[in-house]
């Protein structure tokens, strides 16, 4: 079990560094919106900042289309105007329909964050 956790953490670190490098080279409005693991609350939108000043939010408004990048510990359920979709860990999901999306983690604990994304 410990080996599985260490491999998962290493995989997330590699994916995060790759995403950060590609986000830095892309135009600011084309960078993916990252869903990340952070306690308390389990999952958050990572909204920017450097290593010592990271910023997180439970609710974000963006001008569409929006690409989500799931770097959380489990798959995310994305419910919105385009229907319900499952985004697996380490994958990207493009949301093109304007509206309000509600994101929860698969098998989410009742005290975990419920994320809201509004695309205009």
Per-residue pLDDT tens for 99-108?
Answer: 999 999 999 8
**Domain span holding position 38:** 2-119
State the CATH number of the domain containing residue 35: 2.60.40
Question: Looking at the whole model, is its pTM more than 0.85?
Answer: no
pLDDT in tens, 44-100: 999 998 888 999 999 999 998 999 999 999 999 999 998 999 999 999 999 999 999
Characterize 43-75 residue by residue with b for buried, 16 or more Cβ atoms within 10 angstroms of its Cβ, and e for exposed: bbbbeeeeeeeeebeeebeeeeebbbbbbbeee
Q: Are 33 and 67 in contact (CB under 8 A)?
A: yes
Domain count, the chain: 1
């Amino acid at each position: 079990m410990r080996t599985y956790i260490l491999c998962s953490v290493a995989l997330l670190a590699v994916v995060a560094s790759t995403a950060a490098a590609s986000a830095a080279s892309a135009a600011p409005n084309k960078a993916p919106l990252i869903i990340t693991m952070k306690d308390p609350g389990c999952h958050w939108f990572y909204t920017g900042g450097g290593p010592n000043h990271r910023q997180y939010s439970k609710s974000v408004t963006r001008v569409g289309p929006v690409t989500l990048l799931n770097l959380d510990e489990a798959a995310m359920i994305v419910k919105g105007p385009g229907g319900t979709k499952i985004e697996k860990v380490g994958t990207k999901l493009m949301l093109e329909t304007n509206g309000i999306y509600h994101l929860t983690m698969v098998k989410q604990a009742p005290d975990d964050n419920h994320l809201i994304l509004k695309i205009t």
